[in-house]
Structure 1
Amino acid sequence: MNLRPALIALALAIVSAGVPADARTRNVTDPNAPRALPVEGPVSVRWEDPSKFTDIRYSRNRWEAVRGNWVEELAEHVRKSAEKRLPPGQRLDVDIVDIRRAGSYEPWHGPDLDDTRIIRDIYPPRMTVNFRHTDANGTVLAEGERKLSDTGFMIGASPVTNSDILRYEKSMIDSWLTREIGSPRSDRS
């Protein structure tokens, strides 16, 4: 009696039972994916449909560009970084309108690098945001659209010590928030 097929079926049943229903690869353009962070604290962050973002629309590998949770990760970074900078009572509302991540896919390198984002200084990170910064009384301190870009993103970069794939975008966001609100407060680091 050959038990191999029965053991394989049992193993597959055990593995599939332990996998959550939503274990498929995350896709930022999924219509069921969130379009805002949950409302909490003094910073709210929302975003447009990522399928309209430059990073996806003009990607040389759209399938890789939509993979992951990078939009929500950047939104979370905006929130955390802004919360460290806002004085008590102030509020910041941010709408992410467009994102172009650092790097690009270069399919001419061949199939081995099809899914690799190549980082070069000619592919700087860019982001467009609309924001509203208010004080404790609701008075608008600043608002409008900002087109963020960091054309010098590779200068002083230390890729060996920072393995975060969104490090260039996060650095650009931090620079904008420092210009817009100020440096992180020492009591909120």
Structure 2
Amino acid sequence: MRVFAWLMVLVMSPMVSAAGGDDQQWPTQDGPVTVVWQSPDDYRDVRASSGRQDRYENHVFATLGKEFQKRLQPTLAEGETLTIVVTDLDLAGDVRPSFGAAANDIRVVKSIYPPGINFQWTLKGADGKAIASDSVEIRELNFENTASKMRYQSEALHYELRMIERWVDRDLPEKLASR
């Protein structure tokens, strides 16, 4: 019995020290397109319906950050860099408690809970000087009826990925063309 107790202490001690740390490092994608997640605890809705909250947030931030990189990197000229600082995120749907056999909450996705993201971006030239910048607030009100939703249907964050794609295709070229 004592051996079991000591084993539990040894196994649980890294989890306790990791859970107690306030210096959570969220994925920040670096390179020509850098994505920074600023104060994620203040975001409107990045709640996990099941599992560990920090793992879910890590997955969400990594997935959306990679999408920003994939979409924006081809728009940059040689030597240019683009920094995106995300200040708010609201995932599609709303997390509600389940009052049934399941112990986990559920995310209810309805048109009254559209996805949204707020961020600032700054484009810098090869010399490091700012060329253009803007503050962006995207809210995809008609997210359930978008024509190309099939492209991301197998992805966990398909509404949010589509929202980023539409912003890059529809709104960003105007800003880059004015430089």
TM-score (norm 1): 0.66
Q: Give the drift of 1:79.
A: 1.8
What is aligned with 2:114?
124
What is aligned with 2:124?
134
2:28 match: secondary structure: coil
* Residues 1:143 and 2:133 aligned together: yes
Letter in 2 for 1:169: E
- Greater helix content: 2
**Long gaps (5+) in structure 1:** 1-8, 183-189
CA distance in structure 2 between the partners assigned to 1:84 and 1:42 by the alignment: 10
What is aligned with 2:177?
none
What is aligned with 1:4?
none
**Long gaps (5+) in structure 2:** 175-179
What is aligned with 1:31?
22
Count of residues in Structure 1 that have an aligned counterpart in Structure 2: 158
Letter in 1 for 2:73: E
- Are the counterparts in 2 of residues 90 and 134 from structure 1 also a CA contact under 8 Å? yes
CA 1:170–1:60: 2 relative to 1, 3 Å: closer
Q: Give the drift of 1:84.
A: 2.7
Letter in 2 for 1:181: P
Return 60-69 or 70-79, whichever deviates more.
60-69
Counterparts of residues 70-149 of structure 1 (less than 5 Å): 70-107=60-97, 110-111=99-100, 112=102, 114-149=104-139
Counterparts of residues 49-60 of structure 1 (less than 5 Å): 49-56=39-46
CA distance in structure 1 between the partners assigned to 2:94 and 2:52 by the alignment: 11
Return 172-181 or 133-142, whichever deviates more.
133-142
TM-score (norm 2): 0.69
